[in-house]
Amino acid sequence: MIRYANVNGQRREPEKGLKGTCPGCGKGLNAKCGEIRIHHWAHESRKDCDLWWEQMTEWHLDWQNQFPQGWRENIITKKETEDYHQADIQTPDGIIIKFQHSNLSLVDIESRNNFYEKLIWVVNAKQFKHNIKLQDIPNPNSPLLNDFDFQVDLEGFASDPLFYKKVDYRQYGPAFTRSYSERDEIIKRAFAEQTTHQYKNFTWQHKRLAWLSSTAPVFLDYGEGILYWIRKREQESRPLYYMQLIPKEEFLAKYTKRPATE
């Protein structure tokens, strides 16, 4: 769906009876202002010119409205190929923020990562958040844990915060390596450290593995004022997947900040 069209040289949202042109292909658009679907623009040919456009939801609108109007739904064009796609948000620094409601394959995710280059995903997780179980962990990047790795399963998840010393793992292997937990003094100290953010182990039933493999940052939006940033800690055996909790206000403060020259 398209939110903005060119109407007599102006960027306009849909209003009943208006006609405009597509900012991408330049072809005619009709305003669709019914009572069921969100108001939007549609191509007269009834076929979107950008196959990456998806159906607009109130969730999309709520997020877009947190940013200045001029940053919303800009068209990004690759000069080499003349390929173009819409960006949900393009900041003056060239960062693209994509608000994703529907599921995507890894191929689709990476095609967008490669096209936009400086991309951040915000994913609507309300529909699957009940499949994710969280557990407190210390900051995985704490210096206190430099000599330790988290114990993880074959996919990189840890159901409990258990640790082993890297040197022990190298010498004895996983079967004969002692586990450390919050009962051990150094791990207890790591848990007690004052940190800016919270960190969580997580397990994910019916995993959407493509989001774990994205080369661009992925933030899950539970609709609770907190974003769950999927992160990866490189380890000697297998990497650990974990989440860093970022207040939505903090995220917006960072990415709605205008350059000093404006």
pLDDT band at 151 (very low <50, low <70, confident <90, very high): very high
The whole-number average pLDDT for the span 61-75 is: 94
pLDDT the model gives residue 260: 55
pLDDT the model gives residue 104: 93
Structure tokens at 173: 């292997």
Structure tokens at 56: 């607009």
pLDDT band at 203 (very low <50, low <70, confident <90, very high): very high
The whole-number average pLDDT for the span 20-31 is: 87
Mean pLDDT, rounded, of the chain: 91
Question: Is the predicted pLDDT of residue 258 greater than 80, yes or no?
Answer: no
pLDDT band at 228 (very low <50, low <70, confident <90, very high): very high
Q: Tell me which of 18-27, 87-96, 103-112, 162-171 is least confident.
A: 18-27
